[in-house]
Amino acid sequence: MAVGKSAIEESLESIRDAVRKQLGVGRPEAVDVPPDTVTRFSKDCEPSFTPERRAEFVDRAAELDPWLQGPFYLGGDLIIGGTWRCDHRWIGLGAEVSKSLAGKRVLDVGSNAGYDPFMFALRGAQEIVACEPFGYHHQAVFLESLYHSGVQFENIGWECLTNEKYGTFDLIHCNGVFYHEPNPMGLLMRLRSMLAPDGELLFGSMMLGEPEQSEYVRFIPGSYFGDETWWFVPGRLAMRWMLEVTGFRVAYSFGEWPGPAGEFPVVNGYFRATGVDPAPHLDPVRGSQLLA
């Protein structure tokens, strides 16, 4: 069933309220990025626009504010800069992703506007499923209407992922979800259940910045940096342990960079892992069903 404009607008307004609490404005200004530096996700983008066509694109992008991910090339001289520089994050992440994903099934959990799925498409993934439960999903759908990348964008959370519907995946990418999740162990166990036997996980999360807190997980009953959706922030070692107990063998961590400046120091970083048996008292499939 098609989603009406009012429903889309309602979902975006809830995001604007959250962004307003965090950044002080519901529609933060986009980063100014020169067009010739932006990754082209498609050859289908128009090289130039008539004034009317350009205004149409500008208006549509404004309707879908706030854009946190970016930069995205729309065609002509139009760039959606976004608040976050995903292209900077991909300098490190890109070195960890095979240059060719031909024949691979990829799952992206927490896809936001779709930057990561579009990057996986550029690397030739056979099939990409990208799930995002919030209004950012509509940004991804708009971009896909221009890029025709073939990414399957789903307006769902991780709880809706099942092997019966989606199968298993050779590569799972999940970044920026864990600390927003009131049920973090359920998330990890569901990811494990979706991983193919020889698959790999690239897992990114915000973590406690103080080394002496590495073994701890901090529960946030209020908010962090004005964001009420922060719940559990693990230390680096605690995050590794949680991955391992839910059935992942962590090879190494990479790509650490400072997180937002809030009530205590945090860093963002990635773990590369493969699947193994979970702790004896945990069944990743049954556990994720019970905890979801």
**Residues 162-203 pLDDT 10s:** 999 999 999 999 999 999 999 999 999 999 999 999 999 999
Residue 90's domain comprises 86-291
Which of residues 24, 59, 80 is at a domain's end? 80
Angle among Cα 100, 106, 112 to the nearest 5 degrees reads 115
pLDDT of residue 207: 98
- Which residues does residue 254 pair with via DSSP β-bridges, in sequence order? 270
Of 136, 163, 141, 159, give the one whose Cα is nearest residue 151: 141
The answer to whether residues 169 and 264 belong to one domain is yes
Task: Indicate whether 121 and 264 sit together in one domain.
Answer: yes
* Residue-level pLDDT at 290: 46
Predicted local distance difference test score (pLDDT) of residue 1: 40
Which region among 51-55, 224-228, 229-233 has the lowest average model confidence (pLDDT)?
Answer: 224-228
Q: What is the mean pLDDT of residues 261-268?
A: 93
35 against 129, higher pLDDT: 129
pLDDT attached to residue 23: 65
State which of 80, 104, 129 marks the end of a domain.
Answer: 80
Mean pLDDT of the chain: 90
Say if residue 292's pLDDT is above 50: no
Among 73-77, 226-230, 262-266, the range scoring the smallest mean pLDDT is: 226-230
Please say if the pLDDT value at position 18 is more than 80.
Answer: no
Report the predicted TM-score, pTM, of the whole model to 2 decimal places.
0.91
Is the domain of 112 the same as that of 233? yes
Q: Is 264 found in the same domain as 125? A: yes
In sequence order, which residues have a C-beta less than 8 Å from that of residue 49 and are 6 or more positions away?
Answer: 57, 75, 76, 78
Q: Is the pLDDT of residue 4 over 60?
A: no
CA distance 158 to 149: 22
Domain shared by 160 and 287, yes or no:
yes
What is the rounded average pLDDT of the residues 281-285? 65
Query: Using 50, 70 and 90 to split pLDDT, how confident is the model at 33?
Result: confident
Question: What pLDDT score does 64 carry?
Answer: 93
Number of domain units in the chain? 2
Q: Which of 47-51, 122-126, 175-179, 240-244 has the lowest mean pLDDT?
A: 47-51
19 band by pLDDT with thresholds 50, 70 and 90: confident
Q: What is the pLDDT of residues 88-137, one digit of tens each?
A: 999 999 999 999 999 999 999 999 999 999 999 999 999 999 999 999 99
Contact 70, 31 (CB under 8 A): yes
74 and 194 in a single domain? The answer is no
CB neighbour list of residue 37: distance below 8 Å, 6 or more residues apart: none
* Average pLDDT value for residue range 62-73: 93
Give me the pLDDT at residue 233, please.
Answer: 97
Q: Are residues 129 and 37 in the same domain?
A: no
* CA 251/CA 244 separation, integer angstroms: 11
Same domain, 176 and 250: yes
Tell me the two tokens of residue 45.
């983008």
Q: Which of 24, 47, 80 is the last residue of a domain?
A: 80
Mean pLDDT, residues 210-222 taken together: 95
